[in-house]
Structure 1
Amino acid sequence: MNKEQAVKNPKGLLISLCAVMMMSVMNGTMFNIAVPDIAKTYHLLPSEVSWVMTGYIMVYAVGALTYGKLADYYPYRTLITFGLTIFCLGSLFGFFAQNYGMVLLARVIQAVGGAMIPALVFLAPIKYFPNERGRVLGIVSSVMAFASGIGPIAGGFIAGFLDWRYLFLTSALIIVTLPFLRRNLPQEAVKKGYIDFVGAALIAGFISSLLLGITLGVSWLFIVSVAFFLLNIWRMKTIEEPFIPAHLFKNIKYRTTIITSFLSIVCLFGMMFMLPIMFRDAYEMGTMTIGLVLFPGALSAALMGQKGGKLVDTKGNTFVLYLALTLLAVGFLLLSTLVGAHPYVVSAAIIVAYMSFPLVQASSADILANILHKNETGVGMGVFNLLNFVSGALSGAIIGKSLDIFNPGQPFNWFGFEGTTAVYSNVFLAFSLIIIIGFVQFRMNYEKNNQTYSQKKPASL
């Protein structure tokens, strides 16, 4: 590590990164619980109140990629200061919001600032912890998974005993991590470089129209999305330094890892989205009870992340990814078989799938870090973060439609329970098959290609 990147207090930096990641993820999951209360306050239809989450995810996804690109040139201390300040201002604005329009604006402001967090948190281990990268990525991923589990519990408690507006005030507390991050991040200079803002706008248009088309079910938005996509391809091929270099996706290892990670995260986010609905509708549980049933899975993810990160450093990133995919396939198959049984039995089965979350994140991020050229780590990991958030919106929309349309009494799984849980059994079975497809395509494409991206970079496009 060069002198410019030296970290005086690595442990302090890691704790600060975990704290800011914890509060960021909890902010997103807490508001899932508050959506019905916001709808009641402002007399909104489900399609109207859904913008509380849709607008946030849309801006967050595009922002995560943008910050990743900016991180290739600007000091992390500058980006983290800007991001957390904007996020805090948005949170305070939301707490004092007088109407639904102000609430939506507050969520957008939060997303503009908060999108910086995953960019920093997943890049910092690569930049500042090169000898312990796997372990640190594992810890960060475990914190992310744990926060996803306890967020609904915290959100239910705050909204239930106080008011949903206090979720904004709770989110504003993230600013307390800023002094610790600034103290532990090293001083760095601004690097010279060209940023293709036109290309960034085209990508933002593509992602926004795609997510809107998925969440709203408006067909013409998909045509707009295709138009933005084609314009972006044209832009990537016609300028020397596009926002996302085209040769990133020409590398088989990078492309294969991104696809495998995307398929895995689609299923994991789909599980997190569907389980509360299942326990509420099929098991008639309340919010707090659902949170308690899901808590063991979140705790197992936190514990597994630390061990999985060490495995990445000792056994290798591909070994851990294969392990994670195997656990995921088995976990989803177990859930397909056991949904309909006693909640405690289902809770135990959730652990198997949930514990794979940090393993997938840590191993995929470590593989990408080895593949990417050091000058393109930011944008390469930005694409990784972008697809993670797009996968959440995609899985939620598809599963929501599936639950609306299909109501079978008999599951495809021969050993599954009949009745109201049959549709959930079928979705988990589909998840298991998707993971197997991801496993096979990674095995076929990654192993047969031994080129290293850092050694092969096209001179021009």
Structure 2
Amino acid sequence: MFTDVKKAFLWLGFLAFFSVLNEMVFNVVLPDIAKDLGISPSLANWVNTSFMLSFAIGSITYGTISDKYGVKKLLVFGLLVYSGGSLLGVLAHSNFFAVIAARFIQGVGASAVPALIMVIVARYVKLEDRGKAFGIIGSLVAMGEGIGPALGGTVAHYVQWPFLFLIPMLTLFTIPFFLKELPNESTKGERMDIWGLALLSCGIVTFTIYTTQYNWLYLAISFALFAGCALYIHKVEQPFIEPRLFLNRKFILGVLTGCILLGTVAGCISMIPYMMRDVHQLSASMIGWVIFPGTMSVMLFGIVGGSLVDKRGTTFVLWLGSLFIVASFLIISLFADRTPRLVSGMLILMFGGLSFVKTVISTSVADALGPKEIGAGMGFLSFACFLAEGLGMAIVGGLLTKHILEYPLLSTIQNAKAYLYSNLLLVFIVTILIGATIYTVAYSRRGKRI
């Protein structure tokens, strides 16, 4: 137990805030990075994609090995790696591959925070204080998502984007507290499935490279690695991913729905800065403030979404959230070359819909799992959705670079620079509707609420 619960909440929330902040802070400066390093949007988006991939893989890995190595050691290790990646990014910011490596290393370290915070609260916070702990942490996470774009744009505009790498180093101040307060846990002898993790990770990375390079060799290699992983986890005694989860139809379709919807929205969010720069000639600072109202609205919509799920059911709330997202995409698509204020207003609707979707997916997937499957199943959901967000960013970067959708389609668009973005939003609409339909097929029951 923590001797000072209030101080523990403060430091845990501080960590949660900065782990999420770093997901968002680079988003608005991607056009600046592309310009400064002389690279295409497909490559620039790897600044975020590399972070999300390692963050996803790490988030499930730390939770899996926490019983073996202890929370204190893993948390300190993660924070040191997080800061090490940040230092590399600052020192080698003029080299694109060094920046990608720095972001990947940051993701490896930062992923320890959300994975281990849940373990810390469950193990060391008193039962009567846990609700308060999760509430504070959740609020600070939402705040980090909201402040990230505005902070990133402001720093890039008034200083330089490489200094964004320094922000996560503030987490080093939490190490003395956790070294003092967390007990030295005895290690256990559970075996970690390194080979399963390696096969899946390499398959994901090569598939992501395919989505930006469109080289069929990468696609073939990724499928071979996925097939190898599928065969391997059925043979090993303690697999990285429990095979029986894939026999649960509701679980798989719920995860698939989450991946489609969250990945599509993440791709749209990564596209907005390019659209604001190309069509409206906004600076990074102004782009951050265009996105800011939408990200801050997540807190309010999250509360409303949870209440609606209890009253109206998950299918209703998922379609309501999906229609919010579709409406925002459609209006931006129709008027992409009009005032940025319209885009900012529609992003409030989009982030609100996203909040509804996240609430439904978490609730539905949890309900589809048995008591002994909750830990592994929810961990896999988080892992899959983080990966989908990274893939969404990579795919959109590739489409922006290839310009295959750059032609006049909607008569409302007068600026030729807006054609690509307007048409891409129409593709997003179709994808969102597909995801919502999959959920309906899997979870809707006549006369019942899931």
TM-score after normalising by structure 2:
0.82
Q: Matched residue of 1:238: which SS?
A: coil
Distance 1:37 1:321, change over 3 A: closer
Query: Per-residue deviation at 1:225?
Result: 0.5
Q: 2:182 & 2:15 partners in 1: Cα distance?
A: 14
Matches within 5 A, 1:158-307: 158-178=155-175, 190=187, 193-307=190-304
Question: Structure 1 CA distance, aligned partners of 2:311 and 2:442?
Answer: 23
Distance (whole Å) between structure 2 residues aligned to residue 78 and residue 12 of structure 1: 20
Q: In the alignment, which residue of structure 1 is the partner of 2:105?
A: 109
Q: How many residues were matched structurally?
A: 441
Aligned match of 1:395: 392
Alignment match, 1:445? 442
**TM-aligned CA distance change 1:135 to 1:397, over 3 Å:** farther
Q: CA deviation at 1:199?
A: 1.0
Q: Which residue of 2 aligns with 1:56?
A: 51
CA–CA distance in 2 between the matches of 1:88 and 1:426? 40
Q: What letter matches 1:86 in structure 2?
A: V
Aligned residue for 1:285, secondary structure, equals coil
Distance in 2 (CA, whole Å) between partners of 1:277 and 1:102 is: 23
Aligned AA for 1:339? A
Distance 1:22 1:258 in 2: 25
The match for 2:350 is: 353
Q: Classify 1:225/1:264 alpha carbon distance in 2 versus 1 (closer, same or farther; 3 Å).
A: same
Q: Within 2, Cα distance between the matches of 1:83 and 1:237?
A: 30
Q: Deviations over 1:266-317 (max 9, x none)?
A: 2211221111111211222222222222221112113322443455577766
Alpha carbons 1:10, 1:184 under 8 Å: kept:
no
- The answer to whether structure 1 residue 408 and structure 2 residue 387 are counterparts is no
In 2 relative to 1, CA 168–104 (structure 1 residues): closer, same or farther, beyond 3 Å? same
After superposition, what is the alpha-carbon deviation per residue over 1:312-346, rounded to whole angstroms, capped at 9, x for unaligned?
Answer: 57776666444433432333333334433332233
1:325 and 1:356 in contact (8 A); partners too:
yes
For residues 313 and 184 of structure 1, the distance between their equivalents in structure 2, rounded to whole angstroms, comes to 38
2:426 to 429, 443, 446: 429
Q: What does the per-residue CA deviation read over 1:210-263, in whole Å, with 9 as the maximum and x for residues that have no partner?
A: 122223333211111011011111112222322111111211221121011111
Rounded to whole Å, the distance in 2 between the matches of 1:357 and 1:350 is: 10
Amino acid at match of 1:22: F
1:135-174 paired onto structure 2 within 5 Å: 144=141, 146-174=143-171
Matches within 5 A, 1:1-150: 16-34=11-29, 44-46=38-40, 52-71=47-66, 75-97=70-92, 100=95, 102-120=98-116, 144=141, 146-150=143-147
Displacement, 1:23? 1.4
Which runs of no fewer than 5 residues in structure 2 stay unpaired?
none
Secondary structure in structure 1 of the residue aligned to 2:161: coil
For 1:123 and 1:428, locate their aligned partners in 2 and report how far apart those are by CA, in whole Å: 39
| Percent sequence identity over aligned pairs | 32
Greater mean deviation of Cα atoms: 11-20 or 55-64: 11-20
**Structure 2 vs 1, CA of residues 272 and 54 (structure 1 numbering), >3 Å: closer, same or farther?**
closer
* Residue pair 2:87, 2:166 contacting (<8 A) in 1 also: yes
Contact 2:21–2:145 (CA<8 Å) still a contact in 1? yes
Q: What TM-score do you get using the length of structure 1 for normalisation? A: 0.80
Deviation of residue 103 (structure 1)? 4.3
How far the C-alpha of 1:265 sits from its partner, in A, is 0.4
> RMSD value over aligned CA atoms?
3.8
Q: Distance in 1 between matches of 2:201 and 2:17?
A: 26
2:122 and 2:56 map into 1 onto residues whose CA distance is 21
- Change in 2 beyond 3 A, CA 1:217/1:135: farther
